[in-house]
Structure 1
């Protein structure tokens, strides 16, 4: 049996790991946007794992090991994608989880993505009348420069309008926000649909494989494939029904 001292250590570690449990459940969900929450969640864990003067030796060792492992996993993630997703979430668009130079870099990336979208827009239909280009070569160069500057100004205005929007609460759904404000931020809404729809992890898919492993056992190895599909779907539907109730 553990001693009273060991039980005290375990209680302190349990309180620390409660933050990890909360983040794991937050990132492993499938009923809400999770991709844009990754960086704020990691920033929260980094603050929790900071060593303080009151920490005993075992707590310092645990925090150091945990922080080192978390930094190693960050190197294998697509940080650029996560930063863009975070900036497109109206709950985290202030980017407080990043440093000021990193915030400038993120908005530069978003600006480049908007410029790329503008270039990839489909051409005008054949029945639409377009003005004839100027014949003078100097006028051609000036017109090209003018259109490029207008495009940059327009994209900058799109970014500034989005930044000026008030930050939403944590309980609000970012996809519902974009659905409501799509008319005012058409270009930004296209990026938001692409980035916010990406799941943070493959946990929901792995759960389905785990359910299938429980259904198909040695004593039920003769199940037909369609029956396995029905049992897996029923299990998933019953869980959702209980969650709603």
Structure 2
């Protein structure tokens, strides 16, 4: 075979071109120290639990290229090394929490169950407390695999063992929040000195669930699901829907339709709300017979969902607001319930579609949350201890308000009598006062009135004489500034405010657990699942 001399000459000339060397490649870099190498080891191991990555990621070529590009002197270790570092981090973090809980006197906990892809049953327990600086804190105590049957007796034993691991005595637990499962509610009841509260959101959704099955709403849901499924199963229709959004909703984010999911709260609202937002785009696709066959279009009805969206929207707002862990939520339960109840009776809702509104969450809402002695329940008392809602303006009946105040006075007196932390608080205050040198007191004698501590009844009377705080103020910051002058009530507020309104904190662990125990990591041991979930969910407390 002959080679063109011109091509040969061109190739030869290109290979002879000299490229100037970069002076940086001749610089002598200091050798990677052992301390720096260990620091990188820790960072690599933290990648696994912070971002939910499997340990075998260190064996991938892409990861090795990345690390070599960042620091070519660092030698990647075997994955068992990073797993050992993670285990040490777990032990250190658990010891940190043990030390924190020594100084925490009031905690609220939540618990729930979930099943992994391996069909293993797990129980998760979360803890919530308020710091000395009046800041809300939360963490995960455990995510344990339950090999035994999920009976009430076994669950109560698990809960007791979890607290024992962290040396938490039961009288520190203000309340335990669970869903409405019979076994878990009975498990808490079996523990004599524990207080059980049902998850507000779960209970609210149970009130709505029956209403969603009434014929009028059921027909709307069936038609909506059929419409959404048409677009989900047709790439042509989905592409056309997106194109219509560019022309009919210029400048707005392109949205996809949402499918109703029975296990997801608010998914019915989300489905109808999205259909309502895209109704004109959907109609444009259905009436374009180049995209949708006439026979198919005639079977897909675009029913008016505005009435249902209008009724379900308050539920969406309430559940979203009540599911947060960064601020006290229990004090909102009854203000939210009364607001929902008033919306049911308002002319605005009745004009839209009164049967749907009343059957969705009418009688059941009243029967569940406003049973006998509802005004004596812990969430109502928590609302009084919130300086924004202390006048109970959401309650129209003045007699009921007075009953709440009287019950709170009795609870405060009882709380002060049996609460050892309160006694220690008073003793420390008295000791500090005695050690203070006052020349005037030394000359004229000790002022005994200065040592008098206001009775609980006096505290609450003084508290109620002051104006309410603005609705956008922070109740925790208010108590931080006023705890010294209202010591008994501040301790009670700390005890109540740490209780979550929902068991969502435990349920949110399910998503993290699902990322860990997936199809590619189905062989992960329960101990490692617990360790990785613990580190991931408590990362906000770790430096």
TM-score by length of 1: 0.73
Residue aligning to 1:16: 311
Q: How many residues align?
A: 210
Return 5+ residue gaps in structure 1 as ranges: 126-149, 241-245
Q: What RMSD, in angstroms, separates the aligned Cα atoms of the two structures?
A: 3.2
Q: Does structure 1 conserve the Cα–Cα contact (< 8 Å) formed by 2:383 and 2:390?
A: yes
Name which of 310, 316, 324 aligns with 1:29: 324
Tell me the CA shift for residue 219 of structure 1: 3.2
Tell me the CA shift for residue 15 of structure 1: 2.6
Residue aligning to 2:415: 117
Name which of 382, 402, 406 aligns with 1:108: 406
Name which of 390, 393, 396 aligns with 1:93: 390
Structure 1 position 183 matched with structure 2 position 478: no
Tell me the CA shift for residue 16 of structure 1: 2.8
SS at match of 1:49: helix
Q: CA 1:75/1:160 → structure 2, altered by over 3 Å: closer, same or farther? A: closer
Q: Does structure 1 conserve the Cα–Cα contact (< 8 Å) formed by 2:343 and 2:349?
A: no
Q: CA 1:211/1:164 → structure 2, altered by over 3 Å: closer, same or farther? A: same
Distance in 1 (alpha carbons) for counterparts of 2:306 and 2:389: 32
Residue aligning to 1:199: 500
Q: CA 1:54/1:117 → structure 2, altered by over 3 Å: closer, same or farther? A: closer
Q: Does structure 2 conserve the Cα–Cα contact (< 8 Å) formed by 1:35 and 1:198?
A: yes
Q: How does 1:146-165 map to 2 (within 5 A)?
A: 154-165=455-466
Tell me the CA shift for residue 59 of structure 1: 1.4
SS at match of 2:345: coil
Q: Does structure 1 conserve the Cα–Cα contact (< 8 Å) formed by 2:333 and 2:379?
A: yes
Structure 1, residues 175-212: CA drift from partner, whole Å, max 9, x if none? 22111111111111111111111110101111102431
Name which of 301, 304, 311 aligns with 1:2: 301
Distance in 1 (alpha carbons) for counterparts of 2:373 and 2:499: 12
Q: CA 1:207/1:43 → structure 2, altered by over 3 Å: closer, same or farther? A: same
Bigger mean CA offset, 214-223 vs 43-52: 214-223
Distance in 1 (alpha carbons) for counterparts of 2:409 and 2:345: 34
Tell me the CA shift for residue 228 of structure 1: 3.0
Q: Does structure 1 conserve the Cα–Cα contact (< 8 Å) formed by 2:331 and 2:497?
A: yes
Tell me the CA shift for residue 236 of structure 1: 4.6
Q: CA 1:237/1:156 → structure 2, altered by over 3 Å: closer, same or farther? A: closer
Structure 1, residues 98-140: CA drift from partner, whole Å, max 9, x if none? 2211111111111112222343365999xxxxxxxxxxxxxxx
Q: How does 1:121-140 map to 2 (within 5 A)?
A: none
Residue aligning to 2:355: 61
Return 5+ residue gaps in structure 2 as ranges: 1-299, 428-451
- Higher percent of residues as strand: 2
Q: CA 1:194/1:54 → structure 2, altered by over 3 Å: closer, same or farther? A: closer
Tell me the CA shift for residue 11 of structure 1: 1.6
